[in-house]
Amino acid sequence: MQLETDNFIDDLYRWYKAYKDNIRALSYSKNTLDLYSRAIDMFIEYSLQYQDEMKLSDIKSIYFTGYLAFLEDEAKSNGKKPKNGNYLSKSTKQTYLKAIKNFFTFINDNNDEFFTFERYFKNIKVADSSKTEEKLIYLTEEEIGWLLNSMERTKGKKDDYNSYRNALLVKLMLYGGLRISEALNISLGNFTSGQDEEMYNIEIYGKGGKEQIGFIARKTIDDELDYFKAVAKLKEDDLIMKTGSGKQLDRTNAYQIVNRMYKRAGIRKEGLHLLRHTLAMRLTQRGVNPIVVKKILRHSNIATTTIYAKATEGAVADAMKVDLKEEE
C-alpha cells in the first residue's frame, strides 16, 4: 500500500481499515479487537488537530508521547479522579501504547516505500509520572539568528519575489505560529490592524471555512509586505505563496524550500513544523502562561501545549543554581 497521500487523516483511516481487516483475519479475540479499535479511534481523534500541518511520515516519538498526554487530558475532562497525580494508570497507558505500536508495525510491514516508525517507539517507556526522555526538536536562539541573517542576505542579493516569499513563509510559522497549510493560503487581505498598533491580526481559514485569528508583530514582516504591495503589486486577494508560473505553492515545495534555507544557514535540522515548535518553546521559556501559548498556537487541546512546558534537566539545573546564588 502507498504510505501516504496529501490527506493525513484519510491516510490514518485507510491504514486503520486495512489493519482491522488483517487482525480479524488472524482471529484476534473480540476483546482485543475492541481494545485496539478504541486505542486507534482515540489516536485519530488526537490527530485531528494536526490534520492541516502533518503527514504520516512526519510522525516522530514526540507525537506518540503527545498522544499519551492527550489520553490523560481526556480522562481528566471525563471526570476521572487522579491517583498519584495521574488520571490514567501506567498499565492503561502501556496497553494503549502497545495497540498503537502494533498498528504502526503493520504500516511498517506493508507500505510500498519501506518507511518504518520502529525507531520512534524505541525510547518511549511509560513511567508512573508518564515522563519520557524524548527531546523536542526546535531551533536555538543562535540558529534563529543564522536563519534570519541568511534570509536577509538572500533578499539583499537576489531582490526577487521568491526570496521575499520564502522569508515571509518562514516568519509566519516562526513568529506567528501558523501551520504550513495556513501560511500557504495567505493573501495581503488577511493582514488587518488589531487593538495593538504594533501587531497584525491574521485572518486564517481552516477546514470547513472556520475562521481563526493569528497574531504577528508588524516589525517582523513589514519589509516583506511592503515588497508585495509596492514592487510585486499584489492585490488584496492575491495569494502570496505562489510559484514563478503563478501556481499556488504546495506543501512539498514548501518543505523542500525551507530545508534548503536551513542548510544555507548552516542548520542541520529539517521540517516545517519545528518552526511552530520553536515559537512555542520560546514563549514557554519566557514564562508565558500555557493558556496564552495555547491561544497563540490555536491548539484545540491544552495537553498539546503542556508538552512544551515540561522542564528539561538543563532548565532545572539552571533554576537551582539561581536559588543557590541568591542564598550566598
What is the CATH number for 174?
1.10.443.10
For residue 212, the cross-strand partners are: 204
In a domain, 199, yes or no: yes
Q: Crossing angle of helices 90-110/30-47, nearest 10°?
A: 80
Q: Grade residue 209 by pLDDT with cuts at 50, 70 and 90.
A: low
- As a whole number, mean pLDDT of residues 31-36 equals 89
- Nearby residues of 278 by Cβ (< 8 Å), 6 or more positions away: 138, 139, 144, 174
Q: Grade residue 206 by pLDDT with cuts at 50, 70 and 90.
A: low
Neighbouring C-alpha atoms within 13 Å toward the C-beta of 33: 12
Q: Is the pLDDT of residue 183 over 80?
A: yes
In the chain, how many domains are there? 2
Indicate if 160 and 63 belong to the same structural domain. no
Please tell me the predicted confidence (pLDDT) of residue 305.
76
Indicate if 94 and 170 belong to the same structural domain. no
- As a whole number, mean pLDDT of residues 2-20 equals 95
Q: Is the pLDDT of residue 271 over 70?
A: yes
Indicate if 22 and 148 belong to the same structural domain. no
Region of poorest pLDDT, from 76-90, 219-233, 237-251? 76-90
- As a whole number, mean pLDDT of residues 275-287 equals 90
Indicate if 293 and 165 belong to the same structural domain. yes
pLDDT digits (tens, 9 = 90+) for 101-143: 999 999 999 999 999 999 999 888 876 444 444 467 899 999 9
The pair phi, psi for residue 108, each rounded to 5°, is -55, -45
Region of poorest pLDDT, from 7-16, 40-49, 123-132? 123-132
Indicate if 27 and 93 belong to the same structural domain. yes
Q: Is the pLDDT of residue 6 over 80?
A: yes
Please tell me the predicted confidence (pLDDT) of residue 327.
40
In a domain, 318, yes or no: no
Please tell me the predicted confidence (pLDDT) of residue 302.
76
Please tell me the predicted confidence (pLDDT) of residue 31.
82
Indicate if 28 and 103 belong to the same structural domain. yes
Q: Is the pLDDT of residue 63 over 60?
A: yes
Q: Return the ∠ at Cα 204 (arms to 279 and 172), rounded to 5°.
A: 35
Q: Is the pLDDT of residue 199 over 90?
A: yes
Please tell me the predicted confidence (pLDDT) of residue 143.
97
In a domain, 129, yes or no: no
Please tell me the predicted confidence (pLDDT) of residue 236.
96
Indicate if 42 and 186 belong to the same structural domain. no
Indicate if 22 and 61 belong to the same structural domain. yes
Indicate if 259 and 295 belong to the same structural domain. yes
Please tell me the predicted confidence (pLDDT) of residue 132.
42
Please tell me the predicted confidence (pLDDT) of residue 129.
45
H-helix or E-strand spanning residue 310: none
Alpha helices in 247-312 (DSSP H): 251-264, 273-285, 290-297, 302-306
pTM here is 0.60
Please tell me the predicted confidence (pLDDT) of residue 124.
85
In a domain, 324, yes or no: no
Indicate if 63 and 184 belong to the same structural domain. no
In a domain, 315, yes or no: no
Q: Grade residue 92 by pLDDT with cuts at 50, 70 and 90.
A: confident
Please tell me the predicted confidence (pLDDT) of residue 50.
86
Residue ending a domain, among 64, 88, 121, is 121
In a domain, 173, yes or no: yes
Indicate if 23 and 147 belong to the same structural domain. no
Please tell me the predicted confidence (pLDDT) of residue 127.
66
CB-neighbour burial class of residue 137 (10 A; exposed 0-12, middle 13-18, buried 19+) = middle
In a domain, 45, yes or no: yes
Indicate if 50 and 19 belong to the same structural domain. yes
Answer yes or no: are the C-beta atoms of 46 and 63 closer than 8 Å.
Answer: no
Q: Is the pLDDT of residue 323 over 50?
A: no
In a domain, 127, yes or no: no
Domain that holds residue 213: 141-309
Alpha helices in the chain (DSSP H): 8-25, 30-47, 61-77, 90-110, 118-121, 141-158, 161-174, 180-183, 218-226, 251-264, 273-285, 290-297, 302-306, 313-327
